């Protein structure tokens, strides 16, 4: 049990040491507003998406993420507005994020669009050291829980789309927030600092025939003092209704993905990840699971009758 808690404590606070604080999820193509505010309103529909992810299932205290996002264009003004909410629980630490997304679209003569996005909000950090029952209870520093510590969020992004492909650049938070401030009574007080994350995304849709589309996509994540992370995904969609895919997170995990367009308004999806690192050993966990549900209200019948991949 002690070994398990050591792993969890490392996972909770290695986010600062390894500069990988932002949430990780596999179905990034279906919910980009979490990392790129420029996506808000780009689907030409009022879009609501809920997601749940359980990482490393079977490992006590492993990451659990809950997400709710909503965004919509504002008439024909070129403006998009959205709201992003998510909560990340890792061992004794829980982070809650609230962000408001805004975008503005420039239209090109060929029908393509370039969106500029801005995200503003805040995050709250709670740490309950009582959950880490191997800690030395006589250590005063470890007994100081963190309750709703506030930190601001300001992010920016670009998103370019055509009928066949898209590309995006973003940073969801430009601030290097410090979650633990110095305590005058504790000279060696640990400080967890969030580093700035940079994302690049892209994807393309190839028509194989009238019934089948091949849809590769990628996301690159860069954080200072951390390895560049690359996700490569390949999806195949059948009759604009059912999608199957595989993904590889470089030196980290392989994934299987599925999505089903229930009707013109509802899309449901599932993903399963298996680590290719030592954490992939079934002795420790049974993998990571992710499920999402998206609901859309369309004002443009043309868009409704031809479901978009992005």
Look at residue 286 in the predicted model and tell me its pLDDT: 86
- What is the tens place of the pLDDT at every residue in 31-69? 899 999 999 999 989 999 999 999 988 888 889 999 999
**How many Å apart are CA 222 and CA 244, to the nearest integer?**
28
Q: Tell me the three-class secondary structure of 99-137, residue by residue.
A: EEEEEEEEECCCCCEEEEEEEEEEEEEEECHHHCCCCCC
- What is the tens place of the pLDDT at every residue in 101-130? 999 999 999 999 999 999 999 999 888 767
Summary mean pLDDT of the chain = 84
Q: How many CA atoms lie within 13 A of 69 on its CB side?
A: 30
DSSP 3-state percent helix, strand, coil across the chain (nearest 5): 10, 50, 35
Question: What does the domain layout of the chain look like in residue ranges?
Answer: 1-11+26-177+190-305
Q: What is the pTM of this model?
A: 0.84
Look at residue 93 in the predicted model and tell me its pLDDT: 85
Among 270, 200, 226, smallest CA distance to 26 is for 270
Look at residue 24 in the predicted model and tell me its pLDDT: 81
- What is the tens place of the pLDDT at every residue in 204-253? 999 999 999 999 999 999 998 788 999 999 999 999 999 999 999 988 89
**How many Å apart are CA 143 and CA 105, to the nearest integer?**
50
1-11+26-177+190-305: which CATH architecture? Beta Barrel (2.40)
- What is the tens place of the pLDDT at every residue in 253-287? 999 999 999 998 999 999 999 988 776 666 677 88
């Amino acid at each position: 049990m002690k070994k398990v808690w050591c792993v969890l404590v490392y996972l909770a606070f290695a986010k600062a040491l390894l500069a990988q604080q932002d949430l990780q999820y596999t179905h990034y193509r279906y919910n980009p507003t979490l990392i790129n505010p420029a996506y808000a309103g780009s689907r030409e529909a009022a879009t609501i998406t809920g997601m749940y992810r359980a990482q490393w299932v079977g490992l006590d205290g492993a990451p659990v993420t809950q997400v709710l996002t909503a965004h919509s264009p504002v008439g024909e003004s070129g403006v998009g507005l959205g709201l992003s909410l998510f909560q990340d629980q890792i061992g004794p630490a829980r982070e809650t994020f609230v962000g408001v997304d805004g975008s503005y679209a420039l239209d090109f003569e060929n029908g393509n669009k370039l969106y500029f996005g801005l995200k503003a909000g805040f995050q709250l950090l709670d740490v309950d050291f009582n959950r880490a029952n191997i800690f030395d209870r006589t250590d005063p520093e470890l007994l100081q829980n963190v309750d709703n510590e506030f930190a601001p969020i300001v992010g920016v992004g670009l998103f370019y789309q055509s009928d066949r492909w898209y590309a995006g650049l973003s940073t969801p938070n430009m601030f290097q927030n410090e979650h633990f401030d110095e305590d005058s009574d504790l000279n060696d007080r640990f400080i967890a600092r969030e580093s700035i994350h940079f994302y690049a995304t892209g994807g393309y849709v190839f028509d194989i025939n009238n019934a089948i589309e091949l849809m590769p996509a990628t996301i690159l994540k860069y954080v200072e003092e951390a390895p560049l992370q690359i996700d490569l995904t390949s999806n195949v969609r059948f009759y604009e209704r059912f999608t199957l895919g595989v993904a590889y997170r470089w030196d980290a995990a392989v994934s299987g993905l599925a999505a089903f367009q229930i009707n013109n308004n509802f899309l449901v999806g599932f993903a399963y990840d298996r680590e290719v690192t030592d954490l992939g050993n079934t002795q420790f966990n049974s993998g990571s699971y992710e499920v999402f549900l998206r609901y859309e209200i369309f004002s443009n019948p043309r868009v409704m009758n031809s479901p978009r991949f992005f």
